Amino acid sequence: MDIDGEYRIPVARDKIWEALNDPEVLKLCIPGCKELSQDAPGEMSAKVALKVGPVSATFSGSVKFEDVNAPNGYTLVGHGNGGMAGFAKGRAVVNLVEEGPETLLRYEAKAETGGKIASLGGRLLQSTSRKLADQFFGAFANYLGDHPVGRADPTSQAV
């Protein structure tokens, strides 16, 4: 499955880059995120609760940052296991292009699924993936708008 998208965020590229590498910000913005921790430089692990059609599961997984070109972008390589629900693995290329006071964030992702979740069909998985991406980037843009310094505020309930 392939998905791509772009989002225009009214924030400077360096602030977006900082937030994209901050586990506290990401945890606030990832739909269903229960845990997110930085295990090593360029590596994070997470637990995320998702519902895809009739299938609900908590996925445990990890993400590695590759081809890091600060503050222009990176490639994310990850995998997650949802037990009986199945697994997901994929790669996403994220690019940040500064356009005046705004930043254009573009991504291209390829994912594979297996198990029960894969049996739901490509159209449902595609629409759910697009919905989750839109929720993440909407929350991310809102967070940056509320926190212009680009750092997480653990006491904030917004997002």
pTM for this one?
0.85
> Is the CATH number 3.30.530.20 carried by domain 2-146?
yes
pLDDT at position 118 is: 85
| Region of residue 88 (phi > 0: left; psi between -120 and 50: alpha; otherwise: beta) | beta
| Domain-wise residue ranges, the chain | 2-146
pLDDT at position 151 is: 35
Name which of 87, 83, 88, 105 is nearest 96 in CA terms.
105
CB 36 within 8 A of CB 144: no
8 pLDDT higher than 50: yes
pLDDT (mean) for 11-23: 95
pLDDT at position 53 is: 86
pLDDT (mean) for 52-81: 95
Instruction: Encode pLDDT of 105-141 as tens digits.
Output: 999 999 899 999 888 888 888 898 889 988 998 899 8
70 pLDDT higher than 80: yes
pLDDT at position 45 is: 97
pLDDT band of 52, cuts 50, 70, 90: confident
